[in-house]
Amino acid sequence: MSARVTEVPAEIGMGPVTLRGDLAVPERCEGLVIFAHGSGSSRTSPRNRAVAEVFRGAHLGTLLFDLLTEEEEARDALTRELRFDIALLARRLVGATQWARTHELVRGLPIGYFGASTGGGAALVAAAELPDHIAAVVSRGGRPDLAGESLARVRAPTLLLVGGLDEPVIHVNRYAYERLACAKQLTIIPGASHLFEEPGTLDHVARLATDWFVQHFTDLPRARRSSAFVTYQAPSGAP
Per-residue pLDDT tens for 193-230?
998 999 999 999 999 999 999 999 987 654 443 344 45
Between CA 128 and CA 145 the distance in angstroms is 14
Residue pLDDT, tens place only, 95-138: 999 999 999 999 999 999 999 999 999 999 999 999 999 999 99
Query: What integer pLDDT is reported at residue 87 of this predicted model?
Result: 93
Q: Are 213 and 112 in contact (CB under 8 A)?
A: yes
Question: For residue 111, which of 85, 95, 125, 132 has the smallest C-alpha distance?
Answer: 132
Assess if residue 204 is contained within a domain: yes
Assess if residue 94 is contained within a domain: yes
Between CA 27 and CA 48 the distance in angstroms is 21
Query: What Rg, from alpha-carbon coordinates, does the chain have?
Result: 16
Residue 85 three-state SS: coil
Number of domains observed in the structure of the chain? 1
Residue pLDDT, tens place only, 149-182: 999 999 999 999 999 999 999 999 999 999 999 9
Assess if residue 113 is contained within a domain: yes
What is the CATH number for 215? Answer: 3.40.50.1820
In percent, the amount of the chain with pLDDT more than 90 equals 74
Assess if residue 238 is contained within a domain: no
Assess if residue 19 is contained within a domain: yes
Assess if residue 239 is contained within a domain: no
Assess if residue 49 is contained within a domain: yes
Give me the domain span that covers residue 100: 5-232
The average pLDDT across 66-89 equals 83
Longest Cα separation, the chain: 48
Between CA 40 and CA 77 the distance in angstroms is 7
Between CA 37 and CA 47 the distance in angstroms is 10
